[in-house]
């Protein structure tokens, strides 16, 4: 397949030097078990052209960075304040996954010459006045974060689990939106991973409430 694509590229280059308007014909091998296809050079070029990144992809990544940052903000409180070892383990798991993911997201944004929407993290997901994050689902409000930061023991455990479930559900909503409107393959794969990882986390968190 690689050889066929290289050949197609060479033919296309030659086509710019006086070929017929309809372009050369290129044999492109099919997938295993499928026949080869004969295409004109323009069609081969179109298939090889990358799909442009959509505004939905950029918006998703820009918003997911502060979304993850708030999850880390909550998770770092657990070691000193949680009573339930399961809550501390979940906080460690969340930090271990979402911390590195922030670096991946910021690297992707840098390649697009875009930037995450850092700022006030608390809009509560209700579409109200939330600074840079208006309408971002699942985000805890500043008052909820203050309550969490001052709670200890079982009260902290219950509030942490409740807020984190809502936070993860918000991430699932965002991932579903970008899978519908986005075009970038890497963003789609990341969104799928968010759905798989955070759905499993929600199940574990709900178990801690029982």
Angle CA(87)–CA(88)–CA(90) in degrees, nearest 5? Answer: 65
- Rounded average pLDDT per 10-residue block, the chain, 210 residues: 40 41 53 62 55 90 96 98 97 96 94 70 40 72 97 98 98 96 94 96 94
- pLDDT confidence of residue 49: 52
Per-residue model confidence (pLDDT) at position 57? 95
pLDDT at residue 32, as a whole number:
56
User: What is the pTM assigned to this prediction?
Assistant: 0.70
1.20.1260.10, 3.40.50.300, 3.90.330.10, 1.10.1760.20: which CATH number matches 55-209?
Answer: 1.20.1260.10
pLDDT at position 185 is: 92
Residues of the chain with CATH 1.20.1260.10: 55-209
What does DSSP assign to residue 132?
G
């Amino acid at each position: 397949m690689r050889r066929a694509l290289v050949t197609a590229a060479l033919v296309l280059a030659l086509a710019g030097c006086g070929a017929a308007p309809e372009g050369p014909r290129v044999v492109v091998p099919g997938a295993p078990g499928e026949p080869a296809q004969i295409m004109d050079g323009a069609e081969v070029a179109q298939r090889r052209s990358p799909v442009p990144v959509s505004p939905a992809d950029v918006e998703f990544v820009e918003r997911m960075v502060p979304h993850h940052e708030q999850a880390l903000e909550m998770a770092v409180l657990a070691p000193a304040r949680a009573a339930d070892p399961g809550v501390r383990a979940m906080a460690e798991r969340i930090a271990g996954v979402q911390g590195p993911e922030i670096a991946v997201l910021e690297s992707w944004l840098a390649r697009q010459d875009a930037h995450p929407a850092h700022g006030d993290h608390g809009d509560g997901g209700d579409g109200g006045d939330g600074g840079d994050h208006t309408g971002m689902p699942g985000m805890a409000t500043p008052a909820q974060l203050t309550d969490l930061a001052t709670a200890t023991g079982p009260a902290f455990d219950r509030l942490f689990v409740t807020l984190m479930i809502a936070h993860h559900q918000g991430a699932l909503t965002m991932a579903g939106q970008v899978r519908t409107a986005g075009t970038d393959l890497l963003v789609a794969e990341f969104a799928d991973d968010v759905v798989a990882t955070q759905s499993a986390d929600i199940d574990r968190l709900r178990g801690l409430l029982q």
